[in-house]
Amino acid sequence: MNLNEWIHSNTIHHSQFWDLKKLVEEKQRQGLKISLCLPTLNEEKTIGKEIVMFKSELVDRYPLLDEIAVIDSGSTDRTRDIAATFGADVYLSADILPQYGEKKGKGENLWKAVYQLTGDIIVYVDADIKNIHPRFAYGLVAPLIYRPEVHYVKAFYDRPLAFSQGVRPSGGGRVTEILVRPLFSLFFPDLTGLVQPLSGEYAVRREVLDKIPFPIGYGVETSHLIDVYEKWGMEAIAQVDLDQRVHRNQETRALGKMAFGILRAFLVRAEALGVIGKLPELSTFLRQFQVSNANFEQIAYEIVEEERPPMIELPEYREKFGVAL
């Protein structure tokens, strides 16, 4: 399958899955269990609305989701209390597999979720979405239910092609277009077919999630796509158009930190796969400038992109889920 064929066959609009009754029936016929994971850090303003919507529409009305869980990084606001009040299962990341220590980062939460949650499919949804809608879950889960060859489903937002005034540019955010798409174009051109490779919403089969490593920070999405592509091919990946996503935007300095972490994770993965040669020891410090009273001061931020191993390598996981290496 070439890239154009993949874009045509594996790029789907969520409206194809409007019949939730049919979707639930097929899920039940296959005996699947589906878990929703909401990774959080200080999301008190939006977490309650997300849980209420998902619970009312996709648990009570249409029983698509079997559990809704918050995996929290240590919020200092009321995120955990609000989530528990509205009926989610709430876990502190540090309390899951504590014998392996506590590390900070979104990727850490996603990795811990593979152990803590019980679904055959795990759908990850960011907790800061202001226009939350059931499609953010069912749109991603549906291709996994209807198409057994698909293992990993990525979200993208905004309509990419149809436009009343003709063709317009479309794609991911600033870090995607400035960093990740150029890297994919150079080293993994098939992955350029993904409109928004850094989107925080995706659904994955457990037997895929437990076999890939998890960078603990910003590099987790990029690393996952490379690993799934290398192990299972583009046929295993699909993307779903969810129309629009409204959330807070980050300032440029914060995006610099994100880009630094992604680039480190990318280089480590590319070296491990033999795509590039042996790397020198990489710095963990990003240096940025700030100005105070006309004086330029350089600030160094340490950004460590450690990796958690594939979950299946942990004896605790194999015992809990009855799987073998």
pLDDT in tens, the chain (325 residues): 799 999 999 999 999 999 999 999 999 999 999 999 999 999 999 999 999 999 999 999 999 999 999 999 999 999 999 999 999 999 999 999 999 999 988 999 999 999 999 999 999 999 998 889 999 999 999 999 999 999 999 999 874 444 445 554 556 688 999 999 999 999 999 999 999 999 999 999 999 999 999 999 899 999 999 999 999 999 999 999 998 887 666 788 889 999 999 999 999 999 999 999 999 999 999 999 888 887 888 899 998 889 999 999 999 999 999 998 8
Q: What is the pLDDT of residue 162?
A: 44
Which pTM value belongs to this model?
0.92
Residues near 312 by beta carbon (within 8 Å), at least 6 away in sequence: 210, 211, 318, 323, 325
Cα 190 from Cα 203, distance rounded (Å): 20
The amino acid present at 241, given as its one-letter code, is: D
Distance CA 135, CA 112 (A): 25
Phi, psi (deg, nearest 5) at residue 39: -75, 135
Report how far residue 217's alpha carbon sits from residue 219's, in angstroms, rounded to the nearest whole number. 6
Q: Are strands 214-215 and 307-308 parallel, antiparallel or unpaired?
A: antiparallel
Residue 304: what pLDDT?
Answer: 84
The CATH H-level (homologous superfamily) assignment of domain 3-249 is Spore Coat Polysaccharide Biosynthesis Protein SpsA; Chain A (3.90.550.10)
State the pLDDT at residue 67. 98
pLDDT score recorded for residue 308? 96
